[in-house]
């Protein structure tokens, strides 16, 4: 692809779809939802809501665009064995959708090595060229790289391979106008400051930080609250959204359970 005009880019931007997260507060925080042709990264500790949000997006992506969905299929690459099809059923029912049809529109693959993960991405392009996909989920994007490359001696190679994979993901997002939702782990941050009890930072270093269009931190609040904070985004202010949900089989807030709106 060569040069294009600013007008061409503007027309391309008009094709971008924002997919609802199922939470009004989180949608407001994200400027309307998860954008297509962009990489949205969510990082946080265990049970902070990352995978729960992935399950919700599997359903909301299939809603009509008039209902803030993406009217498309979902590809889910699972590196940690966290996808549960039975969790899709109650979410689909809450959105008034047929659970069987929703599950049929999700293609799933379990990756076991970083090379396997990369090859799954290579094969995905052919499927997206033939069928109307609107979301790619990687849960998690970094886990297999941390397993396959250990120690400081392999860090440079790991980051190079990670950069290659992220470049492929970006190309898929832009070429097929799909939203990419990636979950990420956190690691200890020795330089986090003396005033922070247990400082953490997202894994992946600068390579992952620069590849992500939107970088969002999820953490537990009080009780069953979940707090989302925008860390980096080209067109969004740094802000937090606090959501609350009732005890259900689905652990991330949906519209009906929302009681607190986005706050600065």
Residue 45 is assigned to a structural domain of this protein:
yes
**What pLDDT is attached to residue 254?**
38
**What pLDDT is attached to residue 7?**
96
Residue with tokens 């782990």: 185
Nearest to 256 by CA among 93, 134, 137, 98: 93
Residue 197 is assigned to a structural domain of this protein:
yes
Residue 8 is assigned to a structural domain of this protein:
no
Residue 79 is assigned to a structural domain of this protein:
yes
**What pLDDT is attached to residue 200?**
83
Q: How far apart (Å, rounded) are the C-alpha atoms in residues 251 and 55?
A: 10
Residue 258 is assigned to a structural domain of this protein:
yes
Mark the ranges of the chain whose per-residue pLDDT is less than 70. Answer: 1, 190-198, 243-264
Q: How far apart (Å, rounded) are the C-alpha atoms in residues 114 and 206?
A: 19
| CATH number of the domain enclosing 56 | 3.40.50.300
Judge whether 57 and 137 are in contact, CB under 8 Å. Answer: yes
Prediction pTM value: 0.88
Residue 103 is assigned to a structural domain of this protein:
yes
Residue 106 is assigned to a structural domain of this protein:
yes
Nearest 5°: CA angle at 67, between 20 and 54? 30
Residue range of the domain that includes 30: 18-263
Residues 6+ apart with CB under 8 A from 117: 77, 79, 111, 138, 144, 165
Q: How far apart (Å, rounded) are the C-alpha atoms in residues 102 and 264?
A: 35
Total count of domains within the chain: 1
Residue 172 is assigned to a structural domain of this protein:
yes
Judge whether 184 and 208 are in contact, CB under 8 Å. Answer: yes
**What pLDDT is attached to residue 258?**
32
Judge whether 40 and 180 are in contact, CB under 8 Å. Answer: yes
């Amino acid at each position: 692809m060569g040069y294009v005009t600013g007008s061409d880019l503007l027309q391309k931007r008009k094709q971008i779809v924002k997919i609802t997260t199922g939470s009004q507060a989180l949608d407001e925080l994200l400027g309307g939802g998860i954008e297509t042709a962009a990489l949205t990264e969510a990082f946080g500790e265990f049970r902070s809501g990352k995978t729960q949000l992935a399950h919700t997006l599997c359903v909301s992506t299939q809603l009509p665009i008039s209902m803030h969905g993406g009217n498309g299929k979902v590809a889910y690459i699972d590196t940690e064995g966290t996808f549960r099809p039975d969790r899709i059923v109650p979410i689909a029912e809450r959105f008034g959708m047929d659970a069987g049809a929703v599950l049929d529109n999700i293609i799933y693959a379990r990756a076991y090595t970083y090379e396997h993960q990369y090859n799954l991405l290579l094969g995905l392009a052919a499927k997206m060229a033939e069928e109307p996909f609107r979301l790619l989920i990687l849960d998690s994007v970094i886990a297999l790289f941390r397993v396959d490359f250990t120690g400081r001696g392999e860090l440079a190679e790991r980051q190079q391979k990670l950069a290659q994979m992220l470049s492929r993901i970006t190309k898929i997002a832009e070429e097929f106008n799909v939203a990419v939702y990636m979950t990420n782990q956190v690691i200890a941050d020795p330089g986090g400051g003396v005033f922070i009890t247990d400082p953490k930072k997202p894994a992946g270093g600068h390579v992952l930080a620069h590849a992500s269009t939107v970088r969002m931190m999820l953490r537990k609040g009080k009780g069953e609250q979940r707090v989302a904070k925008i860390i980096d985004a080209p067109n969004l202010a740094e802000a937090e959204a606090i959501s609350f949900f009732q005890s259900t089989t689905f652990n991330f807030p949906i519209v009906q359970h929302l009681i607190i709106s986005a706050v600065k």
